């Protein structure tokens, strides 16, 4: 049964999927939706979605991404502030400090770090916290908007006009990060709060860079033409069809009319009961 969050008059339906790809021996991505047992968008901290893509070898990468997701959600929901942006900032800073400390204290984990991109839905607002090159998109029938900027050296050269978009796409060092959690004692996280309010029909995508070979217009088509869970599977299938060179993790969140969605779910269950 689809996940459904209560929001009057809107509701949120989401799906998720992850795959190690076709070239990697293990999956160093981690993701989550928190709190797991709560559906209240009106709660002080709302609902939190996170993806993280670890780096630093077999053990280090997975540990770093798992630490990021675990620490960010614990610190965020444990923070006493009613300001979502302040809570997100503290959560990212704490995750960075603890991952850095862990890497510094164990020679086998030196160099480990992780991207971390988080979305918070609270009432009818959305907030973003971001470090690295995982991405958050906002998608409607008419457009797809990347909410985050990649913190890679190649992306920064593109923003400065040193590289064209095509040169950046083909650059051999395009995955080399300029910012990540855990690689330095302090980190500058992008915290985005001035986004338009939620509207019925739009969708949001969180993804790691294993989806990089899927073009924006293809993402838009697959996300808008499929239910969230099916869209996640379709995106990963397409990434793997393009070579599957990296782990790929996606979460898709759809904004729907609460009353219409409840009636649709109830109607589906009635049909299933009649069949049985």
Q: Which domains does the chain have, with CATH numbers?
A: 3-275 (3.60.40.10)
257 vs 179, more confident? 179
Ramachandran angles phi, psi of 159, nearest 5° = -65, -30
* Span 109-121, average pLDDT: 96
> Percentage of the chain surpassing pLDDT 90?
72
Instruction: Spell out the residues 6+ positions from residue 216 whose beta carbon is closer than 8 angstroms to its own.
Output: 137, 144, 146
Distance CA 135, CA 267 (A): 35
pTM (2 d.p.):
0.91
> Is residue 1's pLDDT more than 60?
no
> Is residue 254's pLDDT more than 80?
yes
Distance CA 228, CA 72 (A): 24
Distance CA 113, CA 100 (A): 8
Distance CA 235, CA 239 (A): 6
User: Furthest-apart CA pair in the chain: how many Å?
Assistant: 63
Residue with tokens 């998608």: 139
Please state, rounded to an integer, the average pLDDT across all residues of the chain. Answer: 90
> Is residue 5's pLDDT more than 70?
no
> Is residue 66's pLDDT more than 80?
yes
Query: So what's the pLDDT on residue 19?
Result: 98
Distance CA 272, CA 91 (A): 43
Kindly report, residue by residue over 193-250, the tens digit of the pLDDT.
Answer: 999 999 999 999 999 999 988 999 999 999 999 999 999 999 999 999 999 999 999 9
């Amino acid at each position: 049964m689809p996940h459904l969050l209560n929001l009057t008059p809107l509701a949120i339906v989401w799906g998720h999927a992850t795959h190690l790809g076709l070239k990697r021996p293990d999956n160093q991505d981690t993701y989550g939706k928190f709190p797991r047992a709560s559906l209240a968008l009106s709660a002080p901290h709302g609902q939190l979605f996170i993806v993280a893509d670890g780096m630093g070898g077999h053990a280090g990468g997975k540990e770093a991404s798992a630490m990021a997701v675990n620490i960010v959600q614990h610190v965020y929901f444990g923070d006493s502030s009613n300001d979502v942006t302040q809570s997100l900032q503290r959560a990212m800073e704490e995750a960075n400090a603890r991952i850095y400390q862990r890497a510094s204290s164990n020679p086998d984990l030196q160099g480990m770090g992780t991207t971390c991109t988080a979305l918070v839905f609270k009432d009818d607002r959305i907030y973003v916290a971001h470090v690295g090159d995982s991405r958050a998109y906002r998608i409607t029938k008419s457009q797809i908007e990347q909410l985050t900027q990649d913190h890679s050296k190649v992306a920064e050269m593109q923003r400065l006009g040193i590289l064209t978009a095509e040169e950046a796409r083909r650059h051999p060092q395009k995955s080399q990060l300029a910012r990540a959690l855990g690689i330095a004692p302090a980190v500058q996280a992008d915290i985005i709060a001035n986004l338009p309010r939620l509207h019925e029909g739009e969708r949001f995508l969180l993804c790691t860079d294993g989806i990089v070979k899927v073009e924006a217009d293809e993402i838009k088509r697959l996300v808008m033409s499929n239910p969230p869970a099916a869209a996640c599977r379709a995106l990963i299938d397409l990434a793997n069809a393009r070579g599957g060179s990296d782990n790929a993790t996606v979460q898709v969140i759809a904004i729907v009319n609460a009353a219409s969605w409840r009636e649709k779910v109830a109607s589906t269950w009635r049909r299933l009961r009649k069949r049985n």
